[in-house]
Amino acid sequence: MTDSARLPRHIEVELRFRTPEEGGRDSPCNSGYRPQMYYDGHDWVINIFFPDADQVWPGDTVRAYFCMMSPNDHVKHIHPDMEFKLREGARVIADGRITKVITLENSGEK
């Protein structure tokens, strides 16, 4: 089991990684990847776990779990069907949609 597999799964999302021609990455990423989730004008550091793939390539659409590094800041701000961007600095590398809030509220109360 990888370290990222042990992290809390606060939300489940669907991600479509942009191709290099769309301004996205030109290399794959793995579970444990830590880009920023961008919504409401703010970047938030997250840890990603890909349950269905070892590597995710530009152009792929995948299911992922996010572990929020600051869960308290997201309670009551995110919800299913909410769209967001995944970024590396200012570069958008994926478009995302929240499919399920799993344990965010429980983590945010601690």
Protein fold of 3-109: Elongation Factor Tu (Ef-tu); domain 3 (2.40.30)
Asked whether 66 and 47 are in contact (CB, 8 A), the reply is yes
Give SS3 for 58.
coil
Contact (CB, 8 A) for 11 and 101: yes
Q: For residue range 8-55, what is the model confidence (pLDDT) as tens digits?
A: 788 999 999 999 999 999 999 999 999 999 999 999 999 999 999 989
Look up the pTM and report it: 0.87
By CB atoms closer than 10 A (0-12, 13-18, 19+), residue 79 is exposed
Contacts of 103 (CB under 8 A, 6+ apart): 8, 9, 10
> In the predicted model, is pLDDT for residue 109 greater than 80?
no
Domain boundaries, the chain: 3-109
78 versus 103: which is more confidently predicted? 78
DSSP secondary structure, 3-56, as one string: HHHHS---EEEEEEEPPGGGT--SS-EETT---EEEETTEEEEEEEE-SS-SEE
